[in-house]
């Protein structure tokens, strides 16, 4: 399956970016092959509002079924929920470590958004 991980860099050794909507990059990783699709999130980083919503739509379009990140606001969460993308919050460390933890079932999915929106 494909999962999206917010990232400070472009490869599996990069650190997880704790932000979702304004993450530097979002990596869509195939959990079987570890193939990486790098999504440049720079357009959203500078968005005044609604960055999380756009990022959520983007990863769902790329076929991700789960998102690993630090925090995910309510509007992004709502979008992900509607798209059927599960969310894991409070993820740290490298992208590779996070993917391994995910495969080993170490994470539990969030039931609610954990950060207030900015409006």
Partner 1 sequence: MLISVASGKGGTGKTTVATNLAYSLGSRAVILDCDVEEPNAHLFLHPDMDTTEQVWAQVPEVNQDACTLCRKCVDICRFRALVVAGKSLLVFPELCHSCGGCFEVCPENALNEGRRELGQIETGHSHGLECVTGCLRVGEAMSPPLIRKVRAHVRPDKINIIDAPPGTSCPVIAAMKGTDFVLMVTEPTPFGLHDLILAVEAVKVLGLPHGLVINRSDMGDEKVRDYAQKENIPILMEIPYDRAIAESYSKGKLIAEMWPEWTDIFQELFQKIQSCLA
Size of site (CB under 8 A) for partner 1? 19
**Using the rule CB under 8 A, is 78 a contact of partner 1?**
yes
**Using the rule CB under 8 A, is 47 a contact of partner 1?**
yes
Q: What is the Cα–Cα distance from 21 to 42, expressed in whole angstroms?
A: 10
Which of 38, 45, 83, 115 contacts partner 1 by CB under 8 A?
A: 83
Tell me how many degrees the CA angle 81-59-63 measures, rounded to the nearest 5. Answer: 90
Q: What is the Cα–Cα distance from 116 to 108, expressed in whole angstroms?
A: 21
Which of 6, 41, 69, 75 contacts partner 1 by CB under 8 A?
A: 75
**Using the rule CB under 8 A, is 82 a contact of partner 1?**
yes
Q: What is the Cα–Cα distance from 87 to 69, expressed in whole angstroms?
A: 8
**Using the rule CB under 8 A, is 65 a contact of partner 1?**
no
Tell me how many degrees the CA angle 116-81-68 measures, rounded to the nearest 5. Answer: 75
Q: Which residues bind partner 1 (CB under 8 A)?
A: 47, 49-50, 53-54, 56-57, 60-61, 75, 78-85, 119
């Amino acid at each position: 399956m494909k999962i999206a991980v917010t990232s400070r860099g472009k490869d599996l050794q990069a650190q997880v970016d704790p932000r979702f909507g304004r993450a530097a990059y979002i990596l869509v990783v195939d959990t079987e092959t570890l193939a990486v699709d790098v999504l440049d999130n720079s357009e959203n980083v500078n968005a005044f509002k609604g960055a999380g919503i756009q990022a959520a739509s983007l990863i769902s379009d790329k076929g991700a079924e789960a998102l690993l990140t630090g925090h995910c606001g309510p509007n992004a969460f709502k979008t992900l929920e509607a798209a059927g993308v599960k969310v894991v919050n409070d993820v740290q460390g490298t992208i590779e470590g996070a993917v391994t933890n995910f495969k080993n079932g170490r994470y539990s999915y969030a039931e609610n958004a954990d950060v207030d929106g900015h409006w």
